[in-house]
Amino acid sequence: MLDQTKKFTQNFLKKDLAEIRSGDTVRVYQKTKIGDQERIQEFEGVVLAKKHGKGISSTITVRKLISGVGVEKIFPLHSPTIEKIEIVRKGKTKKAKLYYLREAKGKKARLKSKDFFEKEETKEVKPVIEEK
């Protein structure tokens, strides 16, 4: 039974998802339909939690502040309404669930950032000295 479920849901999984962890600041592009028109709406915030593993039901909880009011949205990762998820900044955390950020204010609500861009490795070039 599980094999049949995996085979069926495998076609609907997105393959181009980045490695998202709690503490990351992400920008989620979600398709919304208003009347006949369809547009893409952005939502940028901190990932509080990632739930339900890597399967079809995996979700992320994203939180941001709008006019001093905290807004949280739960996004299913493999939903067809999610256009793309862009990682803006990596956060350094020690916990998997960051629910303490709901009550945190000011400097306590900040997360340390982690460098995630690949740094170019500089190779040392040794001068070749020819002996005569």
Going from N- to C-terminal start, the domains of the chain cover 2-114
Between 111 and 56, the higher pLDDT residue:
56
Average pLDDT over residues 62-84: 93
Architecture of the domain delimited by 2-114: Roll (2.30)
Residue 57 has pLDDT above 70, yes or no: yes
Tell me which of 12-16, 81-85, 86-90, 126-130 is least confident.
Answer: 126-130
State the Cα–Cα distance between residues 35 and 23, nearest whole angstrom: 35
Could you tell me the pLDDT band of residue 10, with boundaries at 50, 70 and 90?
confident
Average pLDDT over residues 69-98: 92
Nearest residue to 20 (alpha-carbon basis) of 64, 62, 79: 62
pLDDT at 103: 86
How long, in residues, is the chain? 132
Strands, E assignment, the chain? 25-34, 37-51, 59-66, 69-76, 82-92, 112-114
